[in-house]
Amino acid sequence: GESVGLHLPTLSVQEGDNSIINCAYSNSASDYFIWYKQESGKGPQFIIDIRSNMDKRQGQRVTVLLNKTVKHLSLQIAATQPGDSAVYFCAERKGGGSQGNLIFGKGTKLSVKP
């Protein structure tokens, strides 16, 4: 079975607020994590990634936090905008001989209210 899951399947936020999307993973050997955004009718798009030797990484309006102690990953979106409405997926890469293959979590739907 999959080893990546999400605490919240849906999240509704007000425009301008900050959003936090959470993800739990179970494979302690995973060495790379990535967040994807999937808008309706489109393929997943890369948002931000983080390696297991880091605990925080910032992008433009987005921050990913990694807590390896509790195997938890989160995506923070600052000043959420209507264009952020989408399904967000976390994914992990297992270490060792798994090459570059990713295991995806179930996804969280983010709805931004104007």
H/E run at residue 110: strand 108-113
Q: Residue 84 or residue 93: which is nearer to another protein going by CB? A: 93
Q: Residue 63 or residue 104: which is nearer to another protein going by CB? A: 104
Q: Residue 25 or residue 89: which is nearer to another protein going by CB? A: 89
Return the residue of 34, 90, 110, 112 that touches another protein, per CB under 8 A.
34
Written as one letter, the residue type at 109 is K
Distance, CA of 83 to CA of 112 (rounded, Å) = 8
Tokens encoding 86: 């989408």
Q: Does residue 102 interact with another protein by CB under 8 A? A: yes
Question: CB 52 → another protein: shortest distance, Å?
Answer: 12
CA distances from 84 to 12, 14, 36, 68, 87 (A): 11, 11, 12, 27, 9
User: Interface residues with another protein (CB under 8 A)?
Assistant: 32, 34, 36, 38, 41-46, 49, 87, 89, 93, 99-104, 106-107, 109
